[in-house]
A and B are shown apart, each in its own frame.
Chain A
Amino acid sequence: MRAFNGAAGQYHAFCILVVDGSMKRAFTQFWRGGYSALPGYRFSLLFTVFWTGFFIILPLCALIIRPWQDGVGPVVAELHDARMFAALWTSFSTAAVAAFLNIPLGLFLAWMLVRGDLPGRHIANALIDIPLALPTAVSGITLATLYSPQGWLGYPLSKLGISVAYTRSGIVLALMFVGLPFMVRTVEPVLKNLPQELEEAAKLLGARPRQIITRVIIAPLRPALLTGFGLAFARGVGEYGSVIFIAGNQPFKSEIAPLLIVVRLQEFDYPGATAIALILLLASLSVLVCLGVLRRRISAWSVGA
């Protein structure tokens, strides 16, 4: 028994030594900046840590802790609220559809910019940034006017019997507008790095245009397309300004989750609003993580093949 105790004690001490040693090493490395010869490490470290601490970590803590502060009740009540699930579903489904529809559009525009010898390519390239640059409130009221039943595009669509404004299709259209640059800008650099000879070689070897598109152009672009999809989707889930004017905002039909947060805040229901915000954040982060894992799989698989 005593011998056992002794061995265990020695093992315990050994563990402490190892953990202590590695912790000490990690700490000195942290404090010395990986023993870099450059000055200014501690200054920039303190500045950055304090700034991110105040502007990112502190708000994040508030977001995580606040819903539980009045007990579990408000969160549970929010989880029983069908309206919240309808809003979350509207946000996620419209964002996914818009990001998906943007894949062919973004691929086409990126290909035309890089390979298509598009006349006025430089102007077109600058124009792609418009949705990113345009303030969301401006694009919101503009799209609502453009697609309203009297609008330039809404009028012909309503003649065809398609009503866009104040429905979910309106939300999808707004999110497609906002997300398009993400798709083009992630695909463009990868496409630029692909040797053009691949397309020419495939053509000489007798590939049909459809084969060239699917096997030579799209196959190596799949990770980039997935990244673009993820970026457009993440932006779309949280989008507020460019959507609320065109959405109509009917509960259970065309109400998006960010708007429901604002509604709850106007009712002074802080725990409820924070619960929705937390769910929205966790859901979009987990989708992003899944897409990241999927992308790594696909690119590993393409390299291996």
Chain B
Amino acid sequence: MPKILSIIIYNMKKVGNHTSISRILLFCLAVSLTFSLPSFAQDAPAAAPAAAAPAAEAAAPAAAGDPVKGKELFNANCASCHKLDAASTGPKLRGVAEKHDKQWLYKWIHNSSEMIKSGDAAAVKLFNENNKVTMTAFPQLSEADIDNILAYTSAPAPVVENKPGPVASASGSGVSETIILGALILVLAVLIVMLVLVNRTLKRVAAANGVVVPVKEPGVSVWKAYAKNQFLVLVTAILLLLASSYYLYGWLMQVGVDQNYQPVQPIHFSHKIHAGDNGIDCKYCHSAARVSKNSGIPSLNVCMNCHKNIAEFAGDKDSVYDHSKEFYTGEIKKLYTAVGWDGATQKYTGKTAPVKWVRIHNLPDFVYFNHSQHVSVAGVECQKCHGPVETFEVMKQFSPLTMGWCVNCHRETDVKVEGNAYYTKIHDELAKKFGKQKLTAADMGATECGKCHY
């Protein structure tokens, strides 16, 4: 920064005949440069997130059990039906060791249906309390394994702390930015003052040395000179006209292009959490994309494949979320209302209220687009058109979806012909015709009007 300023000062010093306009312009440039610099400063490593205190799992380990191994076993075997602190398909398991005798539990876990058949009172009661769903038998779990699991389930529930939420941390970083900004402004102000001082000193020195600063002759003002030069006026007018039509064209071309369209949806569905954090494959939910022209908005029964068990937002402690835990859990509750799921009784009520999503990608009627052609045949990644959806907290239209955009891709993308018997003959023929091994979609005829418009 100082270097730039010194250059400016040097320039001002050497070329004394500049008009005041050029000085102003230079000054503006300097100021704009100064203010654009802080953006580079943001590359500095962000403040490390405050390390969250690890959950106090060590407390009160059950006799001879290893809660760490227990957690692994729990997640592998039990978690699909049980939760620690909430009822799921089966009852909640925290503190289960205190409710039943250990030997009883071994027997139950190894073969619960036998116990129910034999008429064990506690077993029958448990069975009846839980919608008469038979628990899968786990004969493969040794007693030591069960001990480990019980040790894990006996750990006390973590105390809910008022941890600073993601909003708080965001505001924290806001404070530091303001400080940096403030400091920069201060430095700038000091520099300006210095500039004025230096200028004054130089004038004084000049006066003392007898250097006569030539008095400006009152010439014709630049504006008047410009107005007199008709050629210049004409050129400027043409340039202005060209520039404005360029921008007008640009503006007109974006009419009806809804790139970055990001409507508010009835349920806040985070692709970031589902596809990003949890790594769910796009086509798990959008399965129709493999065989249909539509990608298919998943029906709610697809959501319930997982959300039957995931009733509340747990989150990953290493990630930062846009909203609070309660917010996300509330959105899951919206799903339950829509699909008619009663979490308490673990049953469908039959009262449904279909979700009215706002459609984001709207192709006009006169365009035929088929997902399966691109997804199944061409093997195009969903992200190629839809962008890094796995990072989107709120879904938006990533691509412009204009014809130029489509056609460009058809011109640049090679057709995936390997291992597809359909292409064998046509590829050989076209390869010979065009004299190249790799064929683009356009070579195959994918830029003809009738391929998409009918």
Q: Do A and B form a real pair?
A: no
